[in-house]
Amino acid sequence: MTKLLSPHYMAGVFAVLISFASVAKDTVLVNNTATSPLPERLAKGMMLFELHQDNFFDAIVRSPNLSSDLVVFDLAHSEFSFGLTEQAKIRYKKLSQTSNSKTKAASYFQLGVMAYQQSDWGSALQWFKKAEKNIDKKQLPELLYYKANVYIHLDKQSTAAQILGQMNPGSWAAYAYYNLAMSYAAMDSEPTRSIISLRVAEALNPKDTAPLVELKDQTSLSAGYLAVQVEDYDKALSFLNQVRVDSDLAPKALYMHGVANAGKEQYRAAIQSWYRVKKYPLIDQGVADAFLAIPYAYDKEGYSSKAISTYLEAISVFDKETRNIDKVIQAVTEKGASHVFFESSSLDDIEWFLSDSIATNTPKVAYFKLIMSDSRLHALAKQSIELEMLYQNLLLWEYNLSIYDDMLRDRIRGYKQRTKKINTAKRKKQIAHISVETKRLEHELSEAGNGQNLLAVSAGRTLRRFESVDALTKRLEGLRTTLTPRQFQDLNVRLTRLQGLVKWEAKEQYERNVRLSKETLVSLNKEIERYEQGLKKFELLISRGPKKLETLKSRVSSFKATVKKRKSDVHRIRAEQNKMLTEQVIELLSNKKSEFVAHHETAQQRLAHLYEFVAMTQYSIKNKASKGGGK
Amino acid sequence: MTLLLEQKQKIPQTQIIILSLLTVCLLVFGTGLSSAYAAEQSIQSKAQKLKADVVELNRALFELEEELLYPADTQVALFLSVKTKNKFLLDSVEIKIDGKIATTYLYTESEIKALEQGGIQRLYMGNISSGPHKLTAVFNGQGANDHYFRKDKTFNFEKSNRSKFIEIGLSDSTGVEPEFKFTEWH
């Protein structure tokens, strides 16, 4: 009883309770699943990381839910680039009402670009005018480019030229002057204005990126072409010589180079240029013309037999290419343009690409370039690829969701099995037992206080001394027979004094011990209450656990259904889109085929005329010879 | 007179026939063109709506995936940001958590440009237990004066029951190698 009431014993009960409670704590699965929202800086940065790599879809998906103008502007830009024009337009219109003048101007400009792309020249001009005042200096050249283009479309070339006059050298100025030159070329019968504009375009072009180097080639080719038209062949040759041999425009430039030489009646030089064109794919612009021009030049030079053989070669090449186009049209009809040109296909055999006899075997890439050079087909193909990307994205989600669904099913099953093993009733019983013990200790402490029971509340050294005095008293009683009465009495007196001393010490500590015991009991009660609550929470959590998992599982199942639905929608629209793309590609290829058929016929006709001419020449020579012989 | 009248009457009839034929031709041709254009527009508008739906779906799916695979009490995510004026060129990075390789990454030119333009890359997302952890990041690249560098830095952090986001920031320094800074967001 003495021991039960001591503060040490109470501390022991406390320790047991803590250790037990800690087991309970470990058992409780505090599963905080809701993830914290990403800090603004990180969310914005993640979006920009995708945006600056032109991953517009990912940029939109990663865009944070912030109202900051810059974030909204970047989001609108991503949406516009990904083809979500209506959403982008709404955002830009909203941004155009903000107080920040730069953002406002940038939004006006984007709205202008949208109107421009829809050929709504009036609206585009209005937006550009609004944007011009406060637009960022870096964006000003782009704005002036679009503005000048609008005036070109409105046949106001002089206004466009005035706008371009304000532009500093750079890529936008170079493109703008090129467009102006082309519009002059379409209008004027005399190409001086166009050539001057092209020269300005070239002078303003920094030529520091691949597209700008390509623009330089285009500028030189166009200037050469215009010079040939006015029969200024030397100037034409100087322009055409500037087109790079590895440029996509090289076959056309080489063909024109030959034309310029032929214009100067330098047929040998012309034949040399045209022979160089023969190594390019026949479908490229200028190659078929070169095949027809070579025999013409031989004929002009008086090499009739060479002319006949090259005409025959041309006829054979056109015939083969016509059959080749037929083969491509058949493949496109059967498998669709998207499959033939953008996915793997049966035409994708290695021979197609490795063949160096390009004149008779146009590689797939040449057809691909031909299709991509048509702006309408380019837009359709881009959308086809985007839809394919969406389909693949949904396919991946479908796969992942099925895995998550299985995982959650297993988790729910495992959870139920584990919770069966956790015996909460046993824990509750233990806590109830400790609670009863505490109540008893409280009662005994109160009784000890009433009876001033010094021993009951003594602890540590004092308690051990009490125990030692008790033991010595018992031992003295055992020695009573062996000791003299005087010795016994003397020792007994000493022991009584010792007991008095210990009691005095206990009395000294009594108040403090009672206070400590009371404090410990109060803390113990609090702890018991806390762990009772913890156990209740734990039981609640266990009961909620499967519910939470089941909710997640039902969410996964619902998403699975949505993904399946969207996947089927994408598949349907992709099919419609591919059908349209296929029809238009077939139309383009059929037109190309007609061109080759026409070239084929031209070559045959010219060959027939040449045969006729040769036959007549031979006949007249023979005639002259026979007449001479007669004489 | 009668003949003349007939002739006069016949001329407009022929004109009417020609005009009617032309109108029919134009209508047929025009209808063909406009129906093709309408079909294209219809597909475009359907595709646009579908794209918007798939974007929204992806957002929700990423949230669900994060909740499922990386719950807040175990979630740790590492981010990389770069602030430089062409003083260094990052080549690759290796990340270790408690001595175990968490991820390695080799950068492309476009990724470097995106980082330099303010982009932040999520390098790693995973799960760790609560308590103290050690993060080691090793960076390889080219510093000033074409100096090749391989620099590592260790960062100790404490994982609580909230999501832990750590940003590793690379920035220009006065020396030939960049500086590294770790920022804890939660």
Q: Is the domain of B86 the same as that of B167?
A: yes
Give the pLDDT of residue A98. 80
Query: Which has the closest alpha carbon to A17: A463, A434, A479, A358?
Result: A434
Q: Is the domain of B152 the same as that of B85?
A: yes
Q: Which of B57, B67, B120 sits opposite A46 (nearest CB)?
A: B120
Cα dihedral sign, A341-A343-A347-A351: positive
pLDDT over threshold 50, residue B85: yes
pLDDT digits (tens, 9 = 90+) for A344-362: 544 455 455 445 444 444 5
Q: Is the domain of B114 the same as that of B151?
A: yes
Query: Which has the closest alpha carbon to A584: A381, A404, A325, A299?
Result: A381
Neighbours of A351 (CB within 10 A): 8
Domain total of chain B: 2
DSSP string, A137-159: TTTHHHHHHHHHHHHHHTT-HHH
pLDDT digits (tens, 9 = 90+) for A546-592: 788 889 999 999 999 999 999 999 999 999 999 999 999 999 999 99
Which range is least confidently modeled, A80-89, A450-459, B126-135? A450-459
Q: Which of B43, B50, B165 sits opposite A39 (nearest CB)?
A: B165
Distance from CA of B66 to the nearest CA of A (A): 7
Interface size, chain A vs chain B, as Cβ–Cβ contacts under 8 Å: 155
Q: Is the domain of B39 the same as that of B117?
A: no
pLDDT band at A94 (very low <50, low <70, confident <90, very high): very high
Distance from CA of B108 to the nearest CA of A (A): 10
pLDDT band at A456 (very low <50, low <70, confident <90, very high): low
pLDDT over threshold 90, residue B139: yes
- Decide the pairing of beta strands B75-83 and B164-171: parallel
Instruction: Report the CATH number at residue B158.
Output: 2.60.40
pLDDT over threshold 90, residue A375: no
**Does residue B157 sit at the A interface (CB-CB below 8 Å)?**
no
- Decide the pairing of beta strands B120-127 and B179-184: unpaired
Are B112 and B89 a contacting pair, CB within 8 Å? yes
Give the pLDDT of residue B158. 94
Are A123 and A89 a contacting pair, CB within 8 Å? no
The whole-angstrom separation of Cα A216 and Cα A168 is 17
* Mutation target vs B (from A33, A65, A406, A558; most B CBs, 10 A cutoff): A33
Q: Look at chain A and count its residues.
A: 631
Query: Which has the closest alpha carbon to A35: B60, B149, B174, B64?
Result: B64
pLDDT band at A620 (very low <50, low <70, confident <90, very high): confident
Q: Look at chain B and count its residues.
A: 186
**Does residue B16 sit at the A interface (CB-CB below 8 Å)?**
no
pLDDT over threshold 70, residue A611: yes
The token pair at B32 is: 């063909």
**Per-residue pLDDT averaged across B157-170, rounded?**
93
**Per-residue pLDDT averaged across A159-171, rounded?**
93
The whole-angstrom separation of Cα A249 and Cα B74 is 58
Interface touch B68/A41, C-beta < 8 Å: no
Which residue has tokens 């294209």? B40
The token pair at A379 is: 């837009």
Interface touch B47/A53, C-beta < 8 Å: no
Interface touch B43/A32, C-beta < 8 Å: no
The whole-angstrom separation of Cα A297 and Cα A456 is 130
3-class secondary structure, A436: helix
Q: Which residue has better confidence, A110 or B86? A: A110
pLDDT over threshold 70, residue A426: yes
Are B88 and B143 a contacting pair, CB within 8 Å? yes
- Decide the pairing of beta strands B89-97 and B120-127: unpaired
What is the interface pTM, i.e. ipTM, of the complex? 0.83
pLDDT digits (tens, 9 = 90+) for A199-228: 999 999 998 889 999 999 999 999 999 999
Query: Which has the closest alpha carbon to A249: A284, A223, A288, A294?
Result: A284
Number of H helices, E strands in chain B: 2, 8
A-chain residues within 8 Å CB-CB of B168?
none
DSSP, res A280: S
Give the pLDDT of residue A571. 94
pLDDT band at B62 (very low <50, low <70, confident <90, very high): very high
pLDDT band at A491 (very low <50, low <70, confident <90, very high): confident
pLDDT over threshold 80, residue A79: yes
Helix axes A210-229, A250-263, angle to 10 degrees: 20
What φ, ψ does residue A346 adopt, rounded to 5°? -70, -20
Q: Which of B34, B69, B104 is the last residue of a domain?
A: B69
CA dihedral A152, A153, A154, A158 (to 10 degrees): 10
The token pair at A519 is: 């404090």
Q: Is the domain of B37 the same as that of B94?
A: no
Give the pLDDT of residue A344. 56
**Residue A534 identity:** G
pLDDT digits (tens, 9 = 90+) for A220-253: 999 999 999 999 999 999 999 999 988 989 999 9
Query: Which has the closest alpha carbon to A548: A36, A35, A32?
Result: A32
What φ, ψ does residue B185 adopt, rounded to 5°? -100, -20
Q: Is the domain of B117 the same as that of B32?
A: no
Query: Which has the closest alpha carbon to A308: A322, A319, A294, A329?
Result: A294
Q: Which residue has better confidence, B131 or A547? A: B131
pLDDT digits (tens, 9 = 90+) for A493-517: 888 888 888 888 877 777 777 778 7
pLDDT digits (tens, 9 = 90+) for B9-61: 444 444 444 444 444 444 444 455 567 778 778 888 899 999 999 999 999 99
pLDDT over threshold 60, residue A31: no
As a whole number, the mean pLDDT across chain A is 85
pLDDT over threshold 70, residue A15: no
Q: Which residue has better confidence, A415 or B158? A: B158
pLDDT digits (tens, 9 = 90+) for A293-337: 999 999 999 898 999 999 999 999 999 999 989 988 998 999 888
> Residues 6 or more apart from A305 whose CB is under 8 A from it?
none
Q: Is the domain of B180 the same as that of B101?
A: yes
Number of H helices, E strands in chain A: 26, 0
**Per-residue pLDDT averaged across A470-488, rounded?**
86
| Domain of residue B22, residue span | 1-69
A-chain residues within 8 Å CB-CB of B110?
52-53
User: Which element (helix H / strand E) includes A59?
Assistant: helix A56-62
User: Which element (helix H / strand E) includes A627?
Assistant: helix A485-630
Q: Is the domain of B80 the same as that of B143?
A: yes
CA geometry: angle at A302 spanning A299 and A303, to 5°?
75
% of chain A beyond a pLDDT of 90: 50
**Residue A298 identity:** Y
A-chain residues within 8 Å CB-CB of B111?
49, 53
Q: Is the domain of B89 the same as that of B168?
A: yes
The whole-angstrom separation of Cα B48 and Cα B64 is 25
3-class secondary structure, A46: helix
Q: Is the domain of B104 the same as that of B64?
A: no
The token pair at B116 is: 């330099």
pLDDT band at A99 (very low <50, low <70, confident <90, very high): confident
pLDDT digits (tens, 9 = 90+) for A107-120: 999 999 999 998 99
Interface touch A83/B48, C-beta < 8 Å: yes
% of chain A beyond a pLDDT of 70: 87
CA-based nearest residue in chain B for residue A118: B41
Give the pLDDT of residue A363. 67
Q: Which of A86, A397, A573 sits opposite B50 (nearest CB)?
A: A573
Q: Please report, for chain A, the start and end positions of each structural domain, with discontinuous segments joined by +.
A: 397-630
The whole-angstrom separation of Cα A143 and Cα A137 is 10
pLDDT over threshold 50, residue B87: yes
Q: Is the domain of B34 the same as that of B53?
A: yes
B-chain residues within 8 Å CB-CB of A53?
110-111, 113-114, 119
Q: Is the domain of B100 the same as that of B43?
A: no
- Decide the pairing of beta strands B120-127 and B75-83: antiparallel
Give the pLDDT of residue B4. 36
Give the pLDDT of residue B24. 46
Q: Which of B51, B110, B122 sits opposite A53 (nearest CB)?
A: B110
pLDDT band at A545 (very low <50, low <70, confident <90, very high): low
Are A269 and A568 a contacting pair, CB within 8 Å? no
